[in-house]
Structure 1
Amino acid sequence: MLWTTWLMANVCMWMSEVAAAWMMTSLTTKPLWVALVQTAATLPVFLLGLPSGALADNLDRKRYFLFTQLWVASVATLLSVVIFLDVMSPALLLVLVFANGIGMALRWPVFSAIVPELVPRTQLPAALALNGVSMNASRIIGPLVAGALIASAGSAWVFVLNAALSVGAAIIISRWKREHTPNPLGRERLGSAMRVGLQYVKQSYLLKGVLLRISIFFFHSTALMALLALVARGMQDGGAGTFTVLLASMGAGAIASTAFLPRLRRRYARDSLVLRGAAVQALAMAVMAVTHQLWIAVPAMFLGGAAWITVANTLSVSIQMGLPDWVRARGMSIYQMSIMGGSAAGAAIWGQVATWTSVPVCLGIAAVSGITAMAAVNRWMPDAGLEDDLTPKRIFPAPSIPEPPKHGHVMVQIEYLIDPARAAEFRFLMLNESRRSRLRHGALSWELLHDINEPGRFVEVIVDESWTDHLRRFDRVTAADVTLRDRKLAFHTGSERPRVSRSLMETTV
């Protein structure tokens, strides 16, 4: 049911993007305006992705998902009314496309967080590939339906159908039998939840590498998508049908490639597979820059679609495997922000480059710079190839006090007694691993103190935003954190376990 909902939602998205892009070419022929349709559609995800992810990690995901579909239906209805009244302008179209993008910004993080609830971790790569099939089947279905409606009835009816399908998806979501279990500690404050999400990504080498690669890929590959309507118009006998066929070819290539993804993942390391995908996508873009023949453009778009899903699926699996459940929606929202931020910036910049030069020259520059940038980041920030065990482990008892403080930061101090001969080794472990772990769990700050008079005494200092946020960290412990705890304890030479003290920082009350 949810996969069908995702398919319907994506069909609506592609119908809307195709109709809006084609409508803009009828309102103006300036490349910048046409490219800005892509920017208006994707920029909301960049601006609102993190707040949406924080809400999806705290609210009832079923109701939140339902709201996003009703939002999209309302915007599609408004678009159709404006077109029927014949008052559409380039600026108004961009505003309404932006409003539709808000619904997409709210929808993506919650759906990304739902998928791991439904399948075991071992089947997550296959489930994500199936989502790729949904996305790319919609890339075929949406443009075909939109193209047929535009040619036969007009763009307004595309948005009417979009609204109807969105309402249908909302009805399916309402039948989802999911029980929301509120957190006993209550909801995180939005600002705090956003900070923790950003902090988690910032302290993860794996996640930062994924985000950099996906941003680079979409920044360059979006040049083709943003200018495809103009490419189609410039081809021999080009028109709305040509535009639809090119989009459908790209979707078909993406769907066909999913059958080979498991074999490719076994054969190539992540960085190698991503670089090969970026190279094929760059080649497809270069071909589109020089050809005016549809019979050449169709296989080029097919290969481009295959490369697109290969890169996107490989990096999506990588980031999903690097996120624990408690921060998954926020992590995926940052991933989607990277995609849409790269796409929005790329569409605007490549549109301006095309205005200064020409569409073929712009695509050629994007192809060369795209593969060059991906090769550089693979060399500069290679995949470490290590995955932490993020299985939840509730083995550390949360502290209980008679009157928990309602305000003020909480300072936690953990005292270790270390053999001075091993101090450098212990310091390296604490600075490089314990610090990142504490900050990923939401600590405001972390410090390691070394007693000047007693060389073997170290004190780990962690500051939490509040007593409630301190308790939340006990719910976020994973198997990897337990292993790290054991490695730290192996250095401790005291007869008793490290002494832990907790203090309320009065200066923050």
Structure 2
Amino acid sequence: MKDDSAFAPFRHATFRELWLGTTVSNTGSLIQGVAAAWTMTAISTADHVALVQTASFLPVALLALPAGALADIHDRRKVQMAALTLSLVGAALMTLVSLLGMITPWVLLGFCFLVGCGGALAAPARGASVAEQVPKQLVPQAVGLNNISYNLARSVGPAVGGLIVAAVGATAAFAANVFSYIPMLVSLQRWKRPAEVSRLPPEGLLRSISIGVRYVAHMQPVRRTIGRSFTVCLMGAALLSLMPLIARDLLGGTARSYGLLLGCFGIGAVSGIFVLHPLRARLGNENTVRLCCLVQALCLAVLSLSRSTALDIAVLLPAGMAWMVLTTTLGVAVQLSVPRWVAGRAIAMSSAATSLGVAVGAWLWGLMAKETGVAEVLLWAAAGMALSPLMGMFLRVAEGTASPEPDDRPMADPEVRLGIGGSSGPVSIELQYRVPQRSAEDFYGLMREIQLSRTRNGAYDWSLSRNIADPELWSERFTCPTWDDYLRLRGRRTLEDSRLQQRALQMHVGLEPIKVQRWLDRPSASLQWREERADSSGAMGQPM
């Protein structure tokens, strides 16, 4: 197996065991999904059938940000174990209620939502921990294989689910999902994840969420990619959410037919691993996404016209391949554009956009199908997917090829002579530069880049001033909510951030280094008061 092959991550035991556990868990979830969707067709109408997809995906949209923050500030192994235990409990309760004959449309949707909450809380921790299980050069392949895990389960789970529902009933399918969580929990228990030691206390949940949102908001390629994920998933949700109705209304089939269609879609998705990396390498992320959208549009159009099971099977194979390559490319683009400290939150926001698109799309397409019919809705969805490549003009997918490297070089500790604690603040930082007037325009452009760097990493109220009496003197100023937040900001810098600061250092002239001053903005609560002093302790390295 080549080191850069699509399957190279399997050479690493931890990744391999967790991948197998995830695959079993995903299979159980899809068995439950088939049982829930088919049960809904028997007890309610088309809009409720589509809401099964909404109930399953909506938790990701609602819980993504807290889940991402938990993944970044707590042990990712323990977060996954707690979340999967919640899903197991929800699945067990669903089985019990079904066994007692108490299933109603809203009860079924409620339990689907509860099980989905556990999966939503686990997903960012699982995605962010990939970089801890394989070398960094194998992260794209590992992300692709994790997507394949779901789609491999999709190729088996729905067919098995359909057989179980047809032969034994939905209750047995719900019970199968309960047991599917056990291998993953055992694999997580066996993972000896090294403990991370930090000099700083864990960041608060709300503060962590805020910082994650700010990072994405000030990182244009990531922001655009997440926006694109939402829109294409809104259009693409029609196929998966209406597949039970395709099987029942257009093909006149049974639960077994629905499982067969989902299985063929999953087989196509699994085969996508063989074209994912060649396509990304040759076309780039943006063109790969455009191609997949066009393939999806063509498949939706054919499905709307087809009344043949054989033709639908043939069409669902490329549809599954295109969907897998599309969603994986968008996910990889986000993950390879952010540093590790915010990876969980970025992955969470990407997952939220994807799941919100699917949830809202499933609801809208279900309402339309109830009014106009399944075939007509599929045609509308095909038209939307065909036009979606035009969004590349303003929501272009990021072309990241490697995650930003952290700058692990030690920085000099800031000089502190005032009695302050980690929660003291706000803290304002001022850096004074002396730049020749002939370089003023270049320096201003550089500082705009540094502004984005500072705000992504947690700074507020960034400003740049120029001295009226001495035009060569510039002052950069920004604020952190507390002293601990300022120390975290210093530790979040990447090599690119350091290169920007180094360029600013090179533009500074004069015999004195860049002057750095740190101010406690509300000093009344400090234990001791001493005159604030200019501090240049970090001037020889990174003066911050």
| Equivalent residue for 2:496, pick from 480, 485, 493 | 480
Alignment correspondent of 2:29:
13
Distance in 1 of aligned mates of 2:253 and 2:26: 26
| Equivalent residue for 1:180, pick from 195, 198, 209 | 195
Distance in 1 of aligned mates of 2:395 and 2:362: 26
Alignment correspondent of 2:349:
334
Distance in 2 of aligned mates of 1:323 and 1:409: 27
Distance in 1 of aligned mates of 2:277 and 2:384: 29
Counterpart code for 2:122: R
| Equivalent residue for 2:108, pick from 74, 93, 96 | 93
Alignment correspondent of 1:502:
518
Q: State the shift of 1:401 in Å.
A: 2.2
Matched, 1:249 2:264: yes
* SS of match in other structure, 1:462: strand
Between the aligned residues of both structures, percent identity stands at 31
Closer, same or farther: CA 507–24 of 1 in aligned 2, 3 Å: farther
Closer, same or farther: CA 400–387 of 1 in aligned 2, 3 Å: farther
Closer, same or farther: CA 264–387 of 1 in aligned 2, 3 Å: closer
* SS of match in other structure, 2:129: helix
Matches within 5 A, 1:248-327: 248-327=263-342
Q: State the shift of 1:446 in Å.
A: 1.1
Alignment correspondent of 2:179:
164
Where do 5+ consecutive residues of structure 2 fail to align?
Answer: 1-16, 526-544
Distance in 2 of aligned mates of 1:256 and 1:63: 32
* SS of match in other structure, 2:462: strand
Alignment correspondent of 1:408:
425
Q: State the shift of 1:237 in Å.
A: 4.1
Q: TM-score, normalised by structure 2?
A: 0.90
Distance in 1 of aligned mates of 2:22 and 2:130: 11
Q: State the shift of 1:370 in Å.
A: 2.1
Residues 218, 456 of structure 2: 8 Å contact kept: yes
| Equivalent residue for 1:392, pick from 378, 381, 406 | 406
Matched, 1:429 2:449: no
Which portions of structure 1, spanning 4 or more consecutive aligned residues, are displaced by more than 6 angstroms?
386-389
Deviations 1:334-375 (A, max 9, x none): 110011111111111111122221111111111111231x22
Q: State the shift of 1:21 in Å.
A: 1.0
Closer, same or farther: CA 5–397 of 1 in aligned 2, 3 Å: farther
Q: State the shift of 1:389 in Å.
A: 6.5
Distance in 2 of aligned mates of 1:293 and 1:203: 49
Q: State the shift of 1:160 in Å.
A: 0.9
Residues 216, 370 of structure 1: 8 Å contact kept: no
Alignment correspondent of 2:480:
464
Residues 225, 398 of structure 2: 8 Å contact kept: no
Residues 235, 294 of structure 1: 8 Å contact kept: no
Deviations 1:192-232 (A, max 9, x none): 10011011111111101211221111111111111110111
Distance in 1 of aligned mates of 2:249 and 2:180: 32
* SS of match in other structure, 1:502: strand
Q: State the shift of 1:12 in Å.
A: 2.1
Deviations 1:231-256 (A, max 9, x none): 11023341111101111111111111
Matches within 5 A, 1:12-411: 12-28=28-44, 30-372=45-387, 374-382=388-396, 385=399, 390-395=404-409, 396-402=411-417, 403-405=419-421, 406-411=423-428
Distance in 2 of aligned mates of 1:349 and 1:472: 43
Where do 5+ consecutive residues of structure 1 fail to align?
Answer: none
Q: State the shift of 1:376 in Å.
A: 2.2
Q: State the shift of 1:317 in Å.
A: 1.6
Counterpart code for 1:463: T
Distance in 2 of aligned mates of 1:325 and 1:195: 17
Distance in 2 of aligned mates of 1:248 and 1:508: 66
Q: State the shift of 1:490 in Å.
A: 2.4
Bigger mean CA offset, 164-173 vs 208-217: 164-173
Distance in 1 of aligned mates of 2:246 and 2:415: 65
* SS of match in other structure, 2:174: helix
Alignment correspondent of 2:18:
2
Q: State the shift of 1:501 in Å.
A: 0.3
User: Aligned-residue CA RMSD in angstroms?
Assistant: 1.7
Residues 228, 396 of structure 2: 8 Å contact kept: no
